[in-house]
Amino acid sequence: MNSLTKNDKTHRGMAGNIMQMAFLICMLLLLHPSDALSQSGRRHVNTGSNIMVEAKAGYGFLIPHRLEMEIFNSHFPSFEISISKQTFGGSRWEYMYAYPIIGLAYWYSNLGTSPYLGDAHAIYPYINFPITPPKSVRLYFRAGIGLGYLTKRFDRLDNYKNTAIGSHLNAAVSASLELRARIVNRLYFTGSIALTHFSNGSMKTPNYGINIPSIYAGVAYKLSKENAYTRSKLLPELYPYEFDGKKWFQVQFGAGLGYKNTDAEAGGSYMVYAMYANILKQVSFKSRLGFGLDVSYDGTDRMILETSSGEKLDSFIPIVKTGGNLAWELMISRVSFVLNIGGYFSGQYKTEGGIYEKFAIRYYFNQSIYTSITLKAHYARADYITFGLGYNLNIKYY
Residues 329-343 pLDDT 10s: 999 888 999 999 999
The answer on 344 and 216 residing in a single domain is no
Same-domain pairing of 256 and 209: no
236 occurs within a structural domain: no
What's the pLDDT at 159? Answer: 85
**With contact defined as beta carbons under 8 Å apart, do 393 and 375 qualify?**
no
**Dist. CA 321–CA 346, nearest whole Å:** 5
Same-domain status, 168 and 214: yes
- Do 175 and 256 fall within a single domain? no
pLDDT, tens only, 208-237: 888 999 999 999 999 987 765 555 544 555
**Is 10 domain-assigned?**
no
In this structure, the answer to whether residues 77 and 220 fall within a common structural domain is yes
Q: Do 56 and 194 share a structural domain?
A: yes
pTM of this structure: 0.81
- pLDDT tens-digit profile of 347-392? 767 667 789 999 999 999 998 999 999 999 888 788 889 999 999 9
**Measured distance CA(83)–CA(89) in Å, rounded:** 19
> How many Cα atoms are found within 13 Å in the side-chain-facing hemisphere of 335?
18
Residue 199 lies in a domain: yes
Quote the CA–CA distance of 251 and 391 in Å, as a whole number: 8
Asked whether 301 and 274 are in contact (CB, 8 A), the reply is no
User: Domain for residue 20, yes or no?
Assistant: no
Q: Tell me, yes or no, whether 190 and 309 share the same domain.
A: no
CATH number of the domain at 356, please: 2.40.160.20
Asked if residue 1 belongs to a domain, the reply is no
- pLDDT band at 61, cuts 50/70/90? very high
Kind of pairing between the strands at 137-150 and 120-130: antiparallel
Q: Where do the DSSP E strands lie in 120-222? A: 120-130, 137-150, 169-184, 187-199, 210-222
Are 274 and 294 spatial neighbours (Cβ–Cβ below 8 Å)? yes
pLDDT for 42:
42
- Domain boundary residue, one of 231, 266, 281: 231
Q: Which residues pair with 251 in a beta bridge?
A: 279, 393
Start-to-end CA distance of the chain, whole Å, equals 66
Based on the domain organization, do 219 and 99 belong to the same domain? yes
Q: Are residues 279 and 363 in the same domain?
A: yes
| 155 secondary structure, DSSP code | B
- The answer to whether position 9 is within a domain reads no
- CA-closest candidate to residue 50, choices 101, 94, 92, 96: 101
Percent of the residues in the chain that have a pLDDT greater than 90, as a whole number: 46
Q: Is 240 among the domain residues? A: no
Q: Is the pLDDT of residue 43 over 50?
A: no
Question: Structural domain of residue 272, as residue ranges?
Answer: 248-396
Q: Which residue has the higher pLDDT, 237 or 253?
A: 253
H-type alpha helices, the chain? 2-31, 92-96, 299-309
